[in-house]
Amino acid sequence: MSSRVPLNPLILCGPSGSGKSTLLGKLFKEFPNDFGFSISHTTRQPREGEILGKSYHFVNRDVFQKLIQAGSFIEYATFSNNYYGTSAKAVAEVGLQNRRCILDIDAQGVKIIKDKHQNLQPTFVFLSPPSIDSLARRLVKRGSETEESLRSRLDAAKGEMEYAQTGAFDYVIVNDDIEQAYEKLRKVALGEGTESDILPDNRIA
């Protein structure tokens, strides 16, 4: 399989709760040797089940700021009072294994990469929830949010969906039916391409 998979980075962006982790989990399970996750740094607290140095490099604000000053990140963003960033090293480590690097980043990071790192020639994919309402339901069901963090995630989601409306992404995938969304992501990841979905309205019904 490896020879068929393109090696330019695949950037997956989408609101928190849109299903990025769920879909990437399926992709990595089906193709354990062809893709590599760029492991981000974050200052947020680990959630239950997350593995240190595998889900994220969990660091404190002081360490994160030192890494920023050292120019270690190709992009970083703040979200819900926490930093998230992708180090150049994390991307390079995946390439060294001859795997397609997948970056799970937010719209702020996408903008930075578009501005400063077009040399990476990434493929940009936006994963959208079917609606803001369904996103809220999924986040509540996931049980990971307080009322405040839920509100800030929904606000951020509206902004990200607006950004996606500008045509910044090569592909838009709406995660309504999980299997259909996966089929599309799988095709894009393998370099086969797919038809983009139409972005839903980003207003709360």
Paired sense of beta strands 73-79 and 82-87, if any: antiparallel
- CA angle, corner 52, sides to 25 and 69, nearest 5? 105
The 8-class DSSP code of residue 12 comes to: E
**Min separation Cβ 101 and ligand ATP, Å:** 17
- Give the H/E segment covering residue 96: helix 88-96
Q: How many residues bind ligand ATP (CB under 6 A)?
A: 13
Binding of residue 142 to ligand ATP (CB under 6 A): yes
Binding mask 102-141 for ligand ATP (x = CB under 6 A): ------------------------------------x--x
Q: Choose which of 21, 80, 152, 194 interacts with ligand ATP (CB under 6 A).
A: 21
Binding of residue 18 to ligand ATP (CB under 6 A): yes
Q: Choose which of 92, 96, 140, 178 interacts with ligand ATP (CB under 6 A).
A: 178
Binding mask 154-173 for ligand ATP (x = CB under 6 A): --------------------
Contact 40, 64 (CB under 8 A): no
Binding of residue 14 to ligand ATP (CB under 6 A): yes
The maximal CA–CA distance of the chain, rounded, in angstroms, is 46
How far, rounded to the nearest angstrom, does the alpha carbon of residue 7 sit from its chain's CA centroid? 17
**Min separation Cβ 177 and ligand ATP, Å:** 6
- List CB contacts of 113: < 8 A, sequence separation 6 or more: 11, 74, 75, 105, 120, 122
Q: Which residues bind ligand ATP (CB under 6 A)?
A: 14, 16-22, 138, 141-142, 175, 178
